[in-house]
A and B are shown apart, each in its own frame.
Chain A
C-alpha cells in the first residue's frame, strides 16, 4: 500500500489545496485511486505537526456500521457533521469533490464566494459564472490546456479587502460528452475515475495543470467577467453587457453575497468596475480559444 493510501484509510491525509488544508479520511478504494491520480502535485502535510491548523476535517464512509460490504450508500461528513444525504457509493470520487467545495462555500465569509470558473492570463483573471449545462467546465478544461492558468473550476474566491481572486486550483469536473471531447482534443490530459449515473450524469475530473498548482498562492485582480453559453450551431461571439446587469447576475451566482451584507456589495462593485463584462456564446472550442486569446484585459 502506498503512503497516500495508508494515510487516507487510517488517520487522514492532509493536503494543501489553495489556501486551505484538508484532512481526508476514507475506506473507499475509488477515492484513494482518484486522489492518487488527481492530487499528486499538491503538497501533503504531517498531521502531527504542532504548527499546523487544518481547515476542514472531512470523511466519506459507508452509512452502515457493518461497512462497505453491506452498505451501498456513501456518507460525506465534515468533522462529524452531515451536510447532505448519503449517495450511491459508486459516486464516491465525485462526492468527495462536491464535499470539498461545500466546505468552502458554507464556512467562509471572509471572502465572496461565487459559483464560477476562473482562469488567469498575463496577470488578470477572467471569472465565468454560469449555470450547469452552459459549457463552462468544458471551456475551462480547454483553455487551461492553451496557456491559461487554472484558478478554480467551481468556486471563485474573492478577497473582500483586495478584491483579488484567491486561487483554488482543484480538478476540473467534466460531464457526459465533454469527457470525450476533451480526451480527444488533449490526449495528454490526466483523467480521474468516472462516476457513472450521478444526478448530473457521468462525471469525471481532470488533473489540474502542474503550474497552476505550483502557483496556488498567487492571487490576481479580475480583468473580465464573462457569462459563457454553449449553443449548438452558433458562431462564437462576445456581447458586451451593462455593469449593473453584470453585478446582479454575479450576485445571484454567489453563495454568500447576502450573508456578507454591504461588504459583499462593495467588493463586487470593485470587481465589476475594473472588469470588462460580456456574454459569450459559442459552439466550437477552436473559435472560443481564439476569441479568449485575443481578449485585452485590464484596460478598465
Chain B
C-alpha cells in the first residue's frame, strides 16, 4: 500500500475524500518527513485550506508560521553574509534550500532548512573561513580528528556557527568529496554560477546544476534522512524548469559533462515513479544512457522505493531497515576508497558503542 502522504502529493488520493483518521496519518507522515510546511502550500494550491477540518488545519498553519519565520531569518543571515562576500571581493555561492529561497523558486515554499550551505573556489576556502571568523562565525567542532577528516578528505570544512545569532554555515568547495568515485570538476559548476536577483555578491548555481546537485546529494551522497523531502525538492525544481526550451535535453548533456548522469537518471526515474513528475518520455528514454545494468536497477528500485518513503513506522515493511542500512553503506562506499572508509567507520562505531556519539 502506498504511503498516504505520497498518494496525496502525487494526486492518487484526493484531499477532499480524506477521513479524519486519514488526515491524522497524513499529518504524522508529513511532520516526520519535514513536509508539513510544503503540505500547507500544496493544499492551498490544489484544494482549499478553508475546507480542511479545524483540528487538522492548526498543524498546517503552525508549520506555515514556522517556515515563514525561517525565511525571514534566512533573509537576515544572507544580508550579513553578503557583507562578508563584499569584504572578500568575490561572490559566495548559495546551495540547496537557501539558494531556492533567495532565488524565489517554488521549491522553497514551506521548506524547512537548518544550515546555510555555501560554495567557494577551493583556493579561496581559507580566506573565506578567516573572513567569516572576523564576522563572528567560528568552528563548531574542536575535535582534532573531525577537523583533520573534514579538511583532508571532505568537500567542505567543519561547520561554523555564529557566536551571537547561532546560524550554522557549511562552507563547501565541491558538491561531493574529492575522494568520491565520481567527483565532478568544481570549476565547471562555479563557472556557470550567477548572481542572485537583488544581490551583488550572493550567487547560485545555474538552474540545471541546482537539479544535478540536488540529485547527486540524494542519490550519490546518500543523505537519506529526509529522502522524500529531497525528492519533493527535485520535483519542484524539475517542474519550474519545464518551461525552459529543450530543458531536459540540456539537463542530460550537462549531467554527462559533469560525469553525474547516474544520479540524474535516478532523480528522473524516482520523481516520476513516486511523485508522478511530468517528464517527457523521450527524456526518460534518453536518460537510460545513465542506467545501471538490469540486476543493479532492480536492486536500486528495491532499496530506493523503500527509503524514499516517509521515515514513519506506518510506512515501513520488514525490509525498510535493511534498505536504509544498505544505502548508508553504499553512500560511504561511493564517497571514499576502502582504505579510508574502514578506519573511519570503525572509529564511528566505536564512539557510538561507547556512547560518545549518537550519529
Residues of A participating in the B interface, judged by any CB pair closer than 8 Å: 49-55, 57, 79-81, 107-110, 258-261, 263
A193 CB → nearest B CB, Å: 30
* Any A CB within 8 A of the CB of B31: yes
A-B CB pair tally, cutoff 8 Å: 54
List 13 A–B pairs whose Cβ atoms lie within 8 Å, in order of A's numbering.
A51-B21, A52-B20, A53-B23, A53-B55, A55-B59, A79-B28, A108-B58, A109-B61, A109-B65, A110-B58, A110-B61, A259-B69, A261-B69
Given contacts A55-B55, A109-B66, A261-B68, contact A49 B21 (CB under 8 A): yes
Contact A53 B32 (CB under 8 A): no
Contact A50 B19 (CB under 8 A): yes
Contact with A along B218-231 (1 / 0, CB 8 A): 00000000000000
* Any A CB within 8 A of the CB of B313: yes
Chain B residues with Cβ under 8 A from A80's Cβ?
32, 312-313
Closest 6 CB pairs of A and B: A109-B65, A109-B62, A110-B58, A53-B20, A53-B55, A53-B24
Contact B20 A79 (CB under 8 A): no
Contact B65 A259 (CB under 8 A): yes
Out of A53, A55, A259, which one reaches B66, CB within 8 Å?
Answer: A259
Chain B residues with Cβ under 8 A from A55's Cβ?
55, 59
Please, how many angstroms separate the alpha-carbon atoms of A51 and B53 in the complex? 11
Closest to A48 in B: B21
* Any A CB within 8 A of the CB of B72: yes
**CB neighbors of A among B30-69 (8 A):** 31-32, 53, 55-56, 58-59, 61-63, 65-66, 68-69
Closest to A260 in B: B65
A50, A53, A54, A57 — most chain B CB neighbours (10 Å): A53
Chain A residues with Cβ under 8 A from B56's Cβ?
53
Given contacts A53-B21, A57-B28, A79-B28, list 10 more A-B pairs with CB under 8 A: A50-B20, A52-B20, A53-B24, A53-B55, A53-B56, A55-B59, A107-B59, A109-B65, A110-B65, A259-B65
Chain B residues with Cβ under 8 A from A53's Cβ?
20-21, 23-24, 27, 53, 55-56
Contact A51 B69 (CB under 8 A): no
Chain A residues with Cβ under 8 A from B24's Cβ?
52-54
Chain B residues with Cβ under 8 A from A51's Cβ?
19-21
Closest to B57 in A: A110
Contact A81 B62 (CB under 8 A): no
